[in-house]
Structure formats: structure tokens, C-alpha cells
Amino acid sequence: MSVLMTLIALAAAGALIGLRFKVSALLAATALLAIGSLAWNGFGFPGHVSVLKFLILAFVLAGAYIIGVLLSVRWRQTAE
């Protein structure tokens, strides 16, 4: 359940970032994800974040960002 909620939360965050911000915000969010994963593992919380899990989370974030950008472009075209 927690993995599903993490994926949904990252997808929502990526889409919202894509609607408003440029790629630099995606890079910052990915860096924050990496730092958070390292901190999670360092503190010894349950649910170790492996490299594969981090890559999946980063791809979900980037994919949702692209969807957000496409929606933003589409809304701007219809508003004109």
C-alpha cells in the first residue's frame, strides 16, 4: 500500500510541477528525491530504497512532469 501511495504522490507532484515550472524544478525535485532516499536508508527506516526503486520513482516523476507540460501547452493553445 505504501508503494502505491508513493507512486501516486510522485505522479501528482510531477504533474503539478509540469503545469507550472520549467525543467530546473524537475531536476531539483529529482535531487530532493535522491537525498530523501539516502536519508531514509541512512536512518534505518523500514522499506529500504534500492537503486531500482529510486530509478522507478524518478521515472514516474519525470513521466508525470511530461504529462503536466503537455497539459499546460494544451491549455495555453485552447486559451488563445
Please state the domain extents for the chain: 2-79
Q: Tens-of-pLDDT digits for all 80 residues of the chain?
A: 578 888 999 999 999 999 999 899 999 999 999 999 899 888 887 778 888 999 999 999 999 999 999 999 998 888 77
Per DSSP, the three-state class of 51 is helix
pTM of the model: 0.86
Sign of CA dihedral 30, 36, 42, 47: negative
The answer to whether 10 and 64 have CB atoms below 8 angstroms apart is: yes
C-alpha cell at 34: 535522491
The answer to whether 10 and 60 have CB atoms below 8 angstroms apart is: yes
C-alpha cell at 32: 530532493
